[in-house]
Amino acid sequence: VIPRFRPLIERAELVAMLSRGGADDRARFEAAFAQAIGSRHAIAFPYGRTALRLLLESRGIVGREVIMPAYTCVVVAHAVVASGNRPVFIDCGADGNMDLDLAEQAMSANTAAIVPTSVFGHSVDLDRLDALRTRHPGVLVIQDCAHSFTCEWHGRAVARAGHAAFFGCNISKVATSIFGGMVTTDDPDLATALRGARDLRLSRPGPARAFSQALYAFGAALAFHPSFYSLTDALRRTGMLTRLERYYDEQTIEMPADHLVDITRLQARVGAVQIGRLGDFIAARRRYAHYYHERLEAHPGIRFLPASHGSSYSHVAALVDDRERICARAHARGVELGRVIDYCIPSMPSYASVPQGRAWPRACHFSRHVVNLPLWGRFEEAVANRVVSCVVDALSGAAHAPQIA
């Protein structure tokens, strides 16, 4: 079975895990990250959601509204709530990203921040964002780049188009520090405030933590290795891996118990190696995306979400009708199709009590119809070719893909 993603924890990462390292491992990781993104500062956190939480806290933002997409990873909303603020959910546009016109309509005197998100690595429209920022200079702009490491809008880095950007570096992300998150910013005062918040709020990791992280990373490398993935897939189907994979509970708003524990040196060393490979990872993802687009675009059973030229493709996203059936058929032919965001956050039970008064038809539509085609940081034509032929097979006799609406 071809997995929908594969972490590339390989020789260099294993060497980094086994090396002794030193007290400046975290600072080195941050410097490499800042350089890769082209930002002045990078500050590491144990999760992307911790990064967002402390970013809001360090600016003294509390009891305010934070504008964010309805169609994104639910843990972003959890971080906003954990920071003592209220998420205001906005429907998406055709590309899956938050509709910035709707975002602007939702702004009020109580709006403190907006979280533009290049979902699936589809670049946010920075021209529209610029216009919005000019009209609302007091609103903090925090780019969620967890899906969009080095994504660009007409040559401009999305991560630098705001006061700060945050990233997620868990094992499924474009580059990983096993778990982890990062904030980048060009603002020295914000960087200093964030470092202060980190010193104050995060506890030091215990001695066993690096060891368990190494085991987890090693296990993930094995589990996703082509020789073992069919076994992993079989185990997953028994439900045995659910505990490892589940990252949210429909019913509750919660942060992980360890979200205020600093990263280990081991994580920093792995992260630094991965960031050194980022250019290759992104180039490979773009190749998969172009390969799939070229060969499947004309098929009536599948419709790709439009993505602008500088997109960096954490995922390749397309709409299909009768998604569960198509996924089952693709799986029977040896290809796993992802359903990465299969919810519209404000429709989840955990957010039922958040006052809304708006609608999210597109986010709901996408949450039911989007599939994610397999890709990872190394382009393998044989894999891409097999994905295309299995998807074509799985789509035979299928209804036309739904409109983007």
Ligand X SMILES: Cc1ncc(COP(=O)(O)O)c(C=O)c1O
Sheet holding 370-373, edge to edge: 303-304, 316-319, 370-373
Pick the closer one to ligand X by CB: 145 or 388. Answer: 145
The residue (of 170 and 356) whose beta carbon lies closer to ligand X is 170
144 binds ligand X (CB under 6 A): yes
Q: Which of 75, 103, 174, 307 binds ligand X (CB under 6 A)?
A: 75
With CB under 6 A as the contact rule, which of the stretches 46-54, 186-194, 362-370, 396-404 interacts with ligand X? 46-54
d(CA 88, CA 118): 17
- The span from the CA of 102 to the CA of 163, in Å, is 21
Region for residue 67 given its phi and psi (left: phi exceeds 0; alpha: psi -120 to 50; beta: otherwise): beta
Could you say whether residue 147 binds ligand X (CB under 6 A)?
Answer: yes
Site string for ligand X, 176-195 (x = CB under 6 A): -----x--------------
Give the interface size with ligand X as a residue count (CB under 6 A).
14
| CB nearer to ligand X: pick between 48 and 310 | 48
At 181, the amino acid letter reads G
CB of 110 to ligand X, least distance (A): 23
Q: Which amino acid is at 153?
A: W
* Token couple for 171: 């094992």
Q: Is the CB of 99 or the CB of 144 nearer to ligand X?
A: 144
CA atoms within a 13 Å half-sphere pointing along the CA-CB vector of 287: 16
Nearest distance from residue 170's CB to ligand X, in Å?
A: 5
Distance CA 65, CA 84 (A): 10
**Stretch touching ligand X by CB under 6 A, among 99-107, 124-132, 142-150, 280-288:** 142-150
Based on the shown chain and the rule CB under 6 A, indicate whether residue 73 belongs to the binding site for ligand X.
yes
Q: Which is nearer to ligand X, 228 or 247 (CB)?
A: 247
Query: 3-state SS of 110-166?
Result: CEEEECCECHHHCCCCHHHHHHHHHHCCCCEEEEECCCCCCCEECCEEHHHCCCEEE
| 177: three-class secondary structure by DSSP | coil
- Report the interhelical angle of 381-394 vs 323-332 (nearest 10°): 130
- 170 contacts ligand X (rule: CB under 6 A): yes
Q: How far is the CB of 365 from ligand X (least distance, A)?
A: 19
φ and ψ at residue 101, rounded to 5 degrees: -70, -45
Of the two residues 112 and 115, which places its CB atom closer to ligand X in the complex? 115
| Binding to ligand X, residues 48-67 (CB under 6 A) | 48-49
Q: In terms of DSSP bridges, do strands 303-304 and 316-319 run parallel, antiparallel, or are they unpaired? A: antiparallel
Output the smallest distance, CB 381 to ligand X, in A: 28
Kindly state the smallest distance separating residue 76's Cβ from ligand X, in Å: 5
Binding segment (CB under 6 A) for ligand X, from list 85-93, 144-152, 186-194, 290-298: 144-152
Nearer to ligand X (CB atom), residue 3 or residue 181: 181
**Chain positions contacting ligand X, by CB under 6 A:** 47-49, 72-73, 75-76, 117, 144, 146-147, 168, 170, 181
